[in-house]
Structure 1
Amino acid sequence: MKENLLKDEDQILVKKALGGDQKAYHTLVARHKRAVFHIIYKIVSDQEEASDLMQETFMKAFVSLSTYNPQYRFSTWLYKIAANSAIDYLRKKKRGTVSLNEPIKTEEDQIEVEVPDWSKNPEAEWVAKQKAMSIEEAIQSLPKQFREVIIYRHKEDKSYEEISEILKIPVGTVKARIFRARELLKKKLKDLREGF
């Protein structure tokens, strides 16, 4: 009963968020933040990276919200994004492996970790490419100090410490700029989900 109530509340919040209600989206984030962090941490085993990937997960979900199918639980959709983000991170870092057949347990249920095969769905592949282009444009439009930290962090997979050394700025400044860059990207990508 409680599970169905949570599902219904999530559906209402998603509809509001799609209508431009940012408070509704922030409520969704607050409701699922802990579980998303748990899923990612279980895969990457690093608190700082898990926190970073958690923010990335919510940004991806924000951009892709219009693709969510309300026939399924929002939490399941969100947790798959989280798990796939963590797996992508490990693949880039080559720091470990995760069995794609082994489900991850959450407080609500189990989710199967899988990387979608876009090649079998040309329409989905096109949408994904269009979104990637829009995200790239948004990144390029950022002020230089924010653009460079995002590129180092997410395209070149540099650690906070490595970025600090390259730019000759404190690690705290790197983190602050990355946080601010993500906030700016969220604003720039606000209308993207409505266009797909």
Structure 2
Amino acid sequence: MIIPYVHTTERETAVTKVISQWFDDYHDAMFRYLTRIVGQPEQAADLVQETFLRAIKVLDPAVLPAIPQAWLFRIASNLALDHLRRQRRWSWFMRSWQPEANNFAQNVEMTQAIRGCLAKLKPQDAEVLLMVHYAGCSPAEVANLNGEELGAVRKRLSRARDRFRSLYEEERGHEVS
């Protein structure tokens, strides 16, 4: 079998190098984030791959995004939302949280409480909580990702935290520190 020589352009080489580095840097956090959104690790893995394929197609190595993580997570978020729209699965919070408690009974109880509380939040509030507290994004990165003002994201994050805490305390019957 003869394998034809494929000539790569400078752009393709530069894009491959940049995307390869970003994949190493952000793959794990993106996979965890997408797993929380879609609820299935297999779908999340597919969406991570699709995110990086999209990035390869549109990235201009001469004009790199100021915050690569935010740019990639925006692509990932859009793909995940498209997936959810297609699947009509808007109860993704209810199936996605996996706590780290030490015994099974605590796991079940905590999982139910957290899922219930997240499901009662507005989707954009739950998203900002997950982005900041689970995916490790800063409020500035979330603002860039969503095309919002930093102050608006901080305010939404603060309100989402307060609302979640209130719901969780109500659910669990005690104050959360």
Output the TM-score relative to the length of structure 2.
0.47
TM-score by length of 1: 0.43
Structure number with bigger Rg: 2
